[in-house]
Chains A and B, each alone.
Chain A
Amino acid sequence: MSTVPVDAKSDMRPQSVSIAPGPPDGKPGKKGFFTDTTLCIGCKACEVACKQWNQLPDDGFNFTGMSYDNTVALGASTWRHVAFIERPVPLSTQDAGAFSWLMSSDVCKHCARAGCLESCPTGAIVRTEFDSVYVQPDVCNGCGYCVMACPFGVIDRREEDGRAWKCTLCYDRLKENMTPACAKHCPTESIQFGDLDELQQRARERVTHLHDAGMSEAYLYGVDAANQPGTEGLNAFFLLLDKPEVYNLPPDPVVPTHHGADAWKSMAKAALGLAAVAIGAVLFTPRKGLHQ
């Protein structure tokens, strides 16, 4: 693990600053998040840091009744969302009665194969040099197609703005060799930022460690293409303790173009049939018609 702090004065957490040197070819390499939900304490510092750094407008100040969750879901102006799950079952390492509390900070997954990017008709959604998926606000014309193409329900169009928005993996900070705001502010290192291969290795070690410690339910969600073939892996992946549905994550997300060939084949059949019917109708019709 490279530990050259760029911003040594303020950043005391080595794994969050591994971005600096990058691979020798000069490219910054793949960056991502590893969100370890066993460490999340639900403080929402990530939500606040994201809002503040990116200067996103508020979502209204609502009471939802859903435990401590008041942002409900990711959206056009909510790029980090902390889910709170109160369960009537204990974790395998707990003996405190039939209750456990799961918290998880959700974010855009920056999929290796991204539905939003593939569906974008204007080329507004691009893959950056950090392998993140970025919406260019000066290009987006607000067609809304990406909203339906995201298998995680992340990207959304803001009504007042007319354009689609989502997490940028703090593209502006990455360009300055800084850690994304959410990871920087996470007090428990539940959100870890860094080089993707290094995060994957660390996550696997973490799961082994948790299993050894008796927390047998820990597993990784979307860590690589083998783990989640439908998206070919997530650049922002998770360590979870219950079914993905519990965290409002799809159990087997698939990028829409994955099964696109079926629809195109059906369209070819439809077009051929349409042509055949049109030509057939014309050929079948006698010169004077049938009804005159």
Chain B
Amino acid sequence: MSEAASVARYIDPTIGTLEGEGAQQRALKPEEHVNREASRVWTELPEPSEDEPTYYNRPVLKESVWTWDIPAYYYLGGAAGAALTLGAATQLRPGHDLDQFVRHCHWVGIIGSTAGAGLLIHDLGRPSRFLNMMRVFRPTSPMNLGSWVLAWAAPTAITAGLWVRRGGALGYISESAGYASGAIGLTLATYTGVLVSNTAVPLYIEARRIMPVLFGASALASAAALLDMVHEGDAGCTITHIAGAVGRVGELVAGKALEAQVSRVPRVGRPLKEGVSGALWLSSKLLTVASLAVSFWPGKVKQKRRMAAGLATAGSLALRFAVHYAGKASARDPRATFELQRNRV
């Protein structure tokens, strides 16, 4: 057995065999721990047995181990999904005058979903095993279903662009792939809302009836903003203008509805009002309102579209990061879990 396995186990590998269930668990030598956080020492008096006890205020749940990759993926995957949906919807229009717009939609879908998949793989504890996501088909796991959907997004969008305007079988394949990518896009833009809801985190549990709608609206706003940055000059701009406006208004309305849902138990709603997540949540709202104001400012303003698109992008990103950090804060707070469960009828 390797010497590495004996690290932090105080077993001499020349004498003892390392074959236990946890023997392969990688560990660093004590001197290799650069940032091992020394645990906070509890210095308060033993907690009186009050009505609402906790165990030394320690979290009852484990905080998510996900890093910035995941909220960045919510944004990118959402934008990619909504862009593919817009592309497929535009394909419904007769004629070829918007082919350029459809192509731009497909590019946002291809780049967004591919980069998003890269972020997901980067966040894995064992990135080389990312294909294990496709080992099984498991309807109880939104992450499993999401992996299957994500895997099909770029291939269908690429196929859709290969033989545009060709007749015959190839043209038919491309056209069908375009519509398929739209259906996949719908799922990609909204499933992350289910992904977070399907956890033990109190804030996410309480938000479950609205989170997919919020994520869907945010995805639409993000996609329209990205298309506003790359596309110019034809009726496609009107499509993004309408979609973007609905997306941003939807983001604000769904956000408000979500706040109301999670605040039914005050402790559960707290991370949206306090701390890093609260600040991000507020800035998301302000940025989105600002973006709408710029969009609908009367008169011709130079670079108006780009400015609004930039603000909308920042707003959507802030929203995804707010949800991410609010979930972490919620899991850290034992009273959020306890109060939610005690209030359950």
Interface: A24 (CB within 8 A): no
Question: Please, which residues of chain A bring their CB within 8 A of the CB of B220?
Answer: 274, 277-278
Query: Contacting A245 at CB < 8 Å: which of B5, B130, B338?
Result: B338
CB within 8 Å of A: which B274-295 residues: none
Interface: A209 (CB within 8 A): no
Query: Contacting A64 at CB < 8 Å: which of B39, B124, B132, B213?
Result: B39
Cβ distance A95 to chain B, nearest Cβ, rounded Å:
18
Known: A246-B49, A250-B60. A290 touches B132 (CB 8 A): no
Interface SS, A side: loop
Cβ distance A277 to chain B, nearest Cβ, rounded Å:
5
Question: Please, which residues of chain B bring their CB within 8 A of the CB of A250?
Answer: 60, 337-338, 341
Q: Which residue of A lies closest to B215 (CB)?
A: A270
Q: Which residue of A lies closest to B187 (CB)?
A: A271
Question: Please, which residues of chain B bring their CB within 8 A of the CB of A122?
Answer: 129, 132-133, 135-136, 144
List 6 A–B pairs whose Cβ atoms lie within 8 Å, in order of A's numbering. A118-B140, A122-B136, A124-B132, A248-B60, A252-B342, A266-B213
Query: Contacting A58 at CB < 8 Å: which of B8, B92, B247?
Result: B8
Q: Which residues in B have some Cβ–Cβ distance to A below 8 Å?
A: 5, 7-11, 18-28, 30, 33, 36, 38-39, 41-43, 46, 48-49, 52-56, 58-62, 64-66, 82, 85-86, 88-90, 92-93, 95, 97, 123-127, 129-130, 132-133, 135-136, 138, 140-144, 147, 182, 186-187, 189-191, 193-194, 197-201, 205, 208-213, 215-217, 219-220, 233-239, 241-243, 246-247, 250, 327, 331, 334, 337-338, 341-342, 344
Known: A151-B61, A263-B193, A267-B194. A115 touches B126 (CB 8 A): no
Cross-chain contact A162 with B28 (CB below 8 angstroms): no
Total of A-B residue pairs, C-beta within 8 Å: 351
Inter-chain CA distance A159–B138, complex, in Å, is: 26
Q: Which residue of B lies closest to A62 (CB)?
A: B39
Q: Mark A219-261, 1 if CB is under 8 A from B, else 0.
A: 0000000000000000000000011011111111110110110
Interface: A97 (CB within 8 A): no
Inter-chain CA distance A280–B250, complex, in Å, is: 15
Cross-chain contact B21 with A288 (CB below 8 angstroms): no
Known: A56-B22, A141-B132, A287-B235. A248 touches B86 (CB 8 A): no
Inter-chain CA distance A160–B34, complex, in Å, is: 12
Inter-chain CA distance A140–B56, complex, in Å, is: 32
Query: Contacting B211 at CB < 8 Å: which of A67, A266, A288?
Result: A266
CB within 8 Å of B: which A74-100 residues: 75-77, 79, 83, 85-89
Cross-chain contact A155 with B62 (CB below 8 angstroms): yes
Q: Which residue of B lies closest to A141 (CB)?
A: B129
CB within 8 Å of B: which A134-191 residues: 137, 139-145, 147-165, 168, 170-172
Cross-chain contact B23 with A266 (CB below 8 angstroms): no
Cross-chain contact A88 with B143 (CB below 8 angstroms): no
